[in-house]
Amino acid sequence: MSKAIIAAFSRRMPDNVTEELVAVLSSRASFEFKPLFDIVLLNLRERNAASGGEEMLRLRVYEKLQGL
C-alpha cells in the first residue's frame, strides 16, 4: 500500500509590523526612522502585539521598511 502525500498550506498570522508601518506611512507625513519606530512601537504595544524585545523589533521594522 502506498500512502498519499497531502500538501497542506497553513494560514499565516497577520504581519502586525507591516500593518502598523502602512497605517503610519499612509498619513502622508514624512518621518525619520527613530520617530517612525517610536510610533509603530507604541501602536504595537497598545495592541499587545510587540514581542521579541525592542531591539529585535527595531530590526524587523527596518527590514520591512526596506521591503516596502
9 domain-assigned: no
Count of CB atoms situated within 10 Å of the CB of 5: 5
28 domain-assigned: yes
- Residue type present at position 8: A
Q: State how many domains the chain has.
A: 1
Q: Using only C-alpha atoms, what is the Rg of the chain?
A: 17
11 domain-assigned: no
8 domain-assigned: no
Query: In this predicted model, what pLDDT tens digit does every residue of 3-24 receive, in sequence order?
Result: 666 666 666 666 888 888 988 8
55 domain-assigned: yes
What is the per-residue pLDDT for 67?
84
Query: In this predicted model, what pLDDT tens digit does every residue of 21-63 receive, in sequence order?
Result: 988 889 888 889 999 999 989 988 888 877 778 888 888 888 9
7 domain-assigned: no
Residue with cell 498550506: 9
5 domain-assigned: no
